[in-house]
Amino acid sequence: MFAVNKYAGQAMNKNIDRISGRVWKFGDNIDTDVIIPGKYLRTTDMSVFAAHAMEGIDPQFPQKVQKGDIIVAGKNFGCGSSREQAPLALKHAGIACVVAESFARIFFRNAINVGLPIIEIKIQCSQGDVIEIDLGEGLVRNKGRSYQGTKLPDFLREILADGGLVEHRKKKVFQ
């Protein structure tokens, strides 16, 4: 089994290709308003975002989620407004990766930009399962079954490994 991504929620500079964690299962069309409700957008305090992540769909989620957990969802995850706070809320709540059948385009890019690993793939799993993700191969494993998804290009995995786009650019400028 892969090691849990201990670096979720902070700058990485580590290999993020292999992640394992406990599943939180959600359905289709999870919009940014339920990921982080609009009333919390007036702050830049990441602990506030983390304390209210997914509150719009499960008010107890912030108290139950643990560092290294993984969200598995259906189609169109992150639809709605283009708020960058949505992937930030998940990252700072401790989510190690979001696995979804498909992502809203702006959420996909915002997640990469803030350093939240994501993978597009449809898998069979249940709430609480422990799944293994190999971003480098685009694979997810659960209970002896492997699912092939979309492999992230190397340049996106490099941005994720650096902790997001800002840290990635700083690294390139100061090399």
The predicted-structure confidence for 38-95, as pLDDT tens digits, reads as follows 888 888 888 999 999 999 899 999 999 999 999 999 999 999 988 899 999 999 999 9
Q: How many Å apart are CA 9 and CA 22, to the nearest integer?
A: 16
Residue 133 reports pLDDT greater than 60:
yes
Contacts 24+ apart (CB under 8 A), 171-175: none
Question: In this structure, are residues 20 and 131 in contact, taking their beta carbons and an 8 Å threshold?
Answer: yes
Tell whether 142 is covered by a domain.
Answer: yes
105 in a structural domain = yes
pLDDT in tens, 101-127: 999 999 999 999 999 999 999 999 999
Report the alpha-carbon distance of residue 91 to residue 8 in Å, rounded.
6
The answer as to whether 91 is a domain residue is yes
If DSSP codes are grouped into helix, strand and coil, which group holds residue 22? strand
Domain count along the chain: 1
5 in a structural domain: no
CA 174 distance to own-chain centroid? 27
The answer to whether the CB of 92 falls within 8 A of the CB of 42 is: no
**Which pLDDT band holds residue 3 (cuts at 50, 70, 90)?**
very low
Identify the pLDDT of residue 105.
Answer: 95
Q: Are strands 130-134 and 18-25 parallel, antiparallel or unpaired?
A: antiparallel
In a domain, 11, yes or no: no
Per-residue pLDDT, averaged over 123-135, amounts to 97
2 pLDDT more than 50: no
In this structure, the number of other CB atoms found within 10 A of the CB of residue 126 comes to 10
Q: What is the percent of the chain with per-residue pLDDT over 90, rounded to a whole number?
A: 75
Whether this prediction's pTM lies above 0.85 is answered by yes
Residue 56 belongs to domain spanning: 18-173
In a domain, 147, yes or no: yes
